[in-house]
Structure 1
């Protein structure tokens, strides 16, 4: 069946599964980029606990890189899906070309600015005498390979938006498997340490980028990457920015959150507390990446049907996506509460790090069962082009809640434990407010669907 016909007519559960499962697999495999790096780095004899902390200190820079990839990639993908739903293929290809050029420009700027300011940034982030060297060795190589990272991620979203989730998943699979193979070779066999981990990562991302670009240059894609579409169009750029601004802002906020958290963690728990948070974030990624995979499968279905005014299919897709996401995070919650020490020890078996991390992860992810709902609902507003609401909900947890909590809670209670409680408090509050916006939007959507159905009946009766 033609992809557009599938989006318009196939049963929602079947369609969501076929689009989401490849994305979930791809996102899980893609998560191995950072997780595998950290596992191998954490096993470096005698220094693993400091090396993994050093790599964790780079999280703000890496989230900035991802922010720009999302700005061009997700902003373009949502718009491409809507244009395809409106049968405007030429406009979709023009958006694709502009998104590609933006990803190149963003990469060049990030690399230059990052390399010129890396020392100052790491000191601001809280690098100590024990961790500075590891942090710098890793991030310098990552910055050099920014163009591969941003291009692969950005264009892969366009592949999914064009209706080929399997190809999009294979992009991430190829890169992550290659990274997993290269990591131990460069880190241990060639004795390159954290430099080897970073080199393995950018080589893998380069292969992924080549794979993505080749797709749009061959006859396999229903959208083509054409030089004639490379000239930036202010109207298209504005549209990409409007929709992509929400995930972009969320990633920038995550960078600020990470800096704020690291400052508090260093003050009340030292280097190992930062290392523990690095491990906690890695573990939580395993449960959150499937949610992002559902988001990616969910987005073209919602975008297409919203553009086609098939509001009943939009509502059904949202309900199934929330149910699937919630099921995943409930399983993650049970795992974290029961097997916290064993999970931390996968990365490093330092007794103090394991003790800090086990307590931290149980508290920090206590509201994990409701996170799926909040993530899917936020993405829903992005998928239908309501960028302002999506941006507000994206920033709600990060900027408006987490940052103040990271600062205020330890000052009030003066303990490391109080820092861990910032996570569940922010999650609970953000989910309540998200519910308000979502239920209001669903009421409008149901009214529009009922009105459309009534009008159709009247037309049929008149005939």
Structure 2
């Protein structure tokens, strides 16, 4: 039985308890692994001083808003896609997956650009003091600019999991999180980049996770056809209503 047949069986005919374990456990582990990003940054940056640690804390809500945007599109699409694939409606599932992915990237790009333009007042609004602000601008600037990869990853997490490939999601998150833990002390202390090193480590780790998903797409292991024309087709079908 090939991989696609296994996914079809998982989504369409496997008993609910077995399907729940097959999809739920890797997804839960992946979410726990994803929390390591912030823990790793906080742990290693904490050795630099209170102002640097404060910069990470102040920038944290920005990251959560950006991640939330990916979840907005990803979670909404995941439930719909799973039900469509379960009943064999591949065409509509392709449109839903493509719409979710490209919409999240577009909306994320707009949000990131607006955040970068108003980064200084945003950080002050979040509580950055005069001593924290320079470090917060450095960390948040790099982190926010690279967050487009995070939006892609979060959306793909949900799409891939909805197709029954939760292990791929777990691997993508694990590879990024472990790399972040390795790069943080190197960039922060060995290369003496400080908070910029923490942000750079996170950015590179997110890019690696995105490459895992990109490989998954290009190798045609992804069940849904994630092409732009599907998103355009879905938008036209909405306009009819």
TM-score (norm 2): 0.89
More RCO (CA 8 Å, sep 6+)? 2
CA displacement at 1:181 relative to structure 2: 1.1
Answering whether residue 15 of structure 2 is matched by residue 21 of structure 1, we say no
Quote the Cα distance in structure 2 between the aligned partners of 1:201 and 1:77.
26
Deviations 1:8-60 (A, max 9, x none): 4444443322222212222222111111010001122xx1x332222111122
Quote the Cα distance in structure 2 between the aligned partners of 1:216 and 1:225.
8
Aligned match of 2:45 in 41, 45, 48?
41
How do 1:278-427 residues align onto structure 2 when only pairs under 5 Å count? Answer: none
CA displacement at 1:161 relative to structure 2: 0.4
Aligned match of 1:31 in 28, 35, 43?
35
**2:135: which partner in 1?**
134
Change (3 A) 1:237 1:107: farther
CA displacement at 1:236 relative to structure 2: 7.2
**2:8: which partner in 1?**
4
Aligned length, in residue pairs: 235
Quote the Cα distance in structure 2 between the aligned partners of 1:57 and 1:76.
31
| CA RMSD, 1 decimal | 2.0
Answering whether residue 229 of structure 2 is matched by residue 225 of structure 1, we say no
**1:53: which partner in 2?**
54
Structure having the higher Rg: 1
**2:165: which partner in 1?**
164
CA displacement at 1:71 relative to structure 2: 1.7
**1:148: which partner in 2?**
149
| 5+ long unaligned stretches in structure 2 | none
Q: Secondary structure at the match of 1:203?
A: helix
TM-score (norm 1): 0.48
Change (3 A) 1:235 1:83: farther
Quote the Cα distance in structure 2 between the aligned partners of 1:236 and 1:185.
50
**2:176: which partner in 1?**
175
Quote the Cα distance in structure 1 between the aligned partners of 2:119 and 2:177.
26
